[in-house]
Amino acid sequence: MFLNQIDHIAIATNNSSKCIDFFINYLNFKQIHEEKMNDMEIFITVLKNKFIHLEIITPINENSFLNKFIKKHNTAIHHIAFKTDDIFANVNYLKNKGIKFTKNIIEKGIFNKNIIFIHPKSTGGILIELCQK
């Protein structure tokens, strides 16, 4: 298993402007990217400071999977993403160890990264993303 570092932390919110303003105006982050992910029904704003990437994720509509999470947790950390050098080998390794994923396929995320999410039931309740450029 080769995890290099944390790629990003994703924060789910219905009030992205207040959240984004806080990180920009008080914690010296800069907005570097925005992307609408129609297939996931979310809008992502990427913020960065010298060492940290944050994804502020907001549901596009009521049908978004993210609404259920926000109704339960309000604005909260949604997931932590780890960079990997070989996502395919890591997924096979974890599957052989009995780890479950939210989907059994590696998908394309923002910045054209390969991504997959480890199901919270396998991690003690934390949604973990593996990603590779």
- Give the CATH number, domain containing residue 37: 3.10.180.10
Interatomic CA distance for residues 57 and 13, integer angstroms: 6
Domain that holds residue 89: 3-132
Q: How far apart are CA 49 and CA 52, in angstroms?
A: 5
Q: What is the pLDDT of residues 87-99, one digit of tens each?
A: 999 999 999 999 9
pLDDT for the residue numbered 77: 94
What pTM did the predictor assign? 0.90
User: Which residue reads 């997924």 in tokens?
Assistant: 91
Number of domains in the chain: 1
pLDDT of residue 1: 62
DSSP string, 98-132: T--BSSSS-EE-GGG-EEEEE-HHHHTS--EEEEE
What phi, psi does 14 have (nearest 5°)? -95, -10
pLDDT of residue 118: 97
Q: How far apart are CA 68 and CA 96, in angstroms?
A: 31
